[in-house]
Structure 1
Amino acid sequence: MSTLRAGYHHGDLRAACLAAALSLLEEGDEGDLSLRAVARRAGVSPTAPYRHYPDKDALLAALAIHGYRELRAELLAADSAAAEGDEYVAMAQAYVAYAVAHPALFRLMFDHACTRSHPETTAASAAVTEVLAARVAAAVPAAQRPAFMIGCWALVHGLGSLLLNGKLTPNGPDEVAELTRAVVATMLGSSALRL
């Protein structure tokens, strides 16, 4: 039996390659990631990943899309589980927690050129933004929404980046959540949090 045929016993070669790529990404960085390394990790022939990912940029874009979809799901879950009036803080905490839990993927999502050149990646990124936009639309005047959205994103993304780069060193997820809450409350004020 060929290696390629054995690889298809995963049931879903695309998903198996994506899982292998995620694993490799979290162990190193995107510079070390290759389709051959993904094939080895997934247990398929060196050419098998090319059936779904024609080149490394396509694989990286798929990873970014996966990350954006996960992040969107985390934001929606945080929004729906939050007490009334705490929705924005909960979404900010979910965003920062995602960054801290998935540092290599988070950096890829926002820093790699492939995330700006693939239409599906752009759409997945926009779907994340729409989660906050829906909440903001209910409370912020239309003329102020674009600036408010940019400010909110800069706040939580900057906080996540500072944590990833070791500029802030809280001890564990609870301290990260509390730091996020305190920063958001301080910067936006309690009235702005009633989104």
Structure 2
Amino acid sequence: MAPYHHGSLREALLSAAEKILQREGINALTLRATAREAGVSHTAPAHHFKDLTGLVSALAASGFARLHDFARAEASAAETKDQLVAHARGYIAFARAHPGLYKLMFRSERLDWDQPDLASAAEDAYSLLTPASEAPLAHDRPGQRSIADTMARWSYLHGLAMLLIDGRLSAGMSMIPGADEDLLIADLIARLERLHRPSHP
């Protein structure tokens, strides 16, 4: 069995689970397969995860935390002052880099949303779609307009991410001679600015 440093079993299992997810998909992900991939005994996962739901929920929490990091890193490096658009670039970059993990993060039937780490990480990532300057209007019930704006952005980005992951964007572009996917994605993200404009009563 491959050795792992004391105290890092949990991280080793999560890393192993992600490798299986990326290579073979969610249906191949089991506790036994994860233990085998990590090079530990089949009973080892029980030290950190009660069941497979616990493992995939922890993996999804890690995914949301990394999505948040991608978005913040893009915003730090961005030339534009529009942080929302920069965050959107990071969001799509994460989805393209980790398609299997991204899809898992939205498989609610496989996740335990009562796990604090998962709920907190998802909330942090979600908050990037709501600019700090976008305070709820006084007559908002409660913040209904700002919530709708955030959900519109999320719907837009999630739809784009899934089209990319499933290859549907490439399929559509194949009918357009000379089309460039990266340029199209940049243009689609730039159009998100329309959803950034404050709502009016």
Which category of TM-score, normalised to the shorter sequence, fits these structures?
0.7 to 0.9
Runs of 5+ consecutive residues of structure 1 not aligned to the other structure? none
What corresponds to 2:66 in structure 1?
70
Which residue identity is paired with 1:137? A
In 1: Cα distance, 2:186 partner to 2:61 partner: 27
Greater RCO (CA < 8 Å, at least 6 residues apart): 1
1:116 positional shift: 4.9
- After superposing on structure 2, the runs of 4+ consecutive aligned residues of structure 1 that deviate more than 4 Å are 6-11
Partner of 2:166: 165
Q: Does 1:189 align with 2:194?
A: yes
User: Alignment partner of 1:132: what SS?
Assistant: coil
For 2:34, the equivalent position in structure 1 comes to 38
Deviations 1:23-82 (A, max 9, x none): 111101111111111111111111011111111000000110110010011111112222
Indicate how the Cα distance of structure 1 residues 69 and 177 shifts in structure 2: closer, same or farther if over 3 A, else same.
Answer: farther
SS at match of 1:137: coil
Q: Pick one of 6, 12, 17 that aligns with 1:16.
A: 12
Structure 1 residue 124: Cα displacement: 1.2
Separation (CA, whole Å) in 2 of partners of 1:29 and 1:78 = 28
Residue 96 of structure 1 is matched in structure 2 by 92
Q: Give the match for residue 150 of structure 2.
A: 149
CA distance in 1, matches of 2:82, 2:193: 13
What is the TM-score with the length of structure 1 in the denominator? Answer: 0.82
Classify 1:123/1:191 alpha carbon distance in 2 versus 1 (closer, same or farther; 3 Å): closer
Does the aligned pair in 2 maintain the 1:116–1:122 contact within 8 Å?
Answer: no
Within 2, Cα distance between the matches of 1:125 and 1:190?
Answer: 21
**Counterpart check, 1:109 vs 2:105:** yes
Distance change in 2, residues 1:31/1:140 (3 Å): same
Give identity over the alignment, percent.
36
Q: Structure 2: which amino acid aligns with 1:185?
A: A
Contact residue 97 and residue 176 of structure 1 kept, 8 A: no
Deviates more, 1:97-106 or 1:84-93: 84-93
Structure with the higher fraction of residues in helix conformation:
1
Aligned CA distance change for structure 1 residues 176 and 122 (closer, same or farther; 3 Å): farther
Deviation at 1:185, TM superposition (A): 3.1
* 2:167 aligned counterpart, secondary structure: coil
Aligned residues: 184
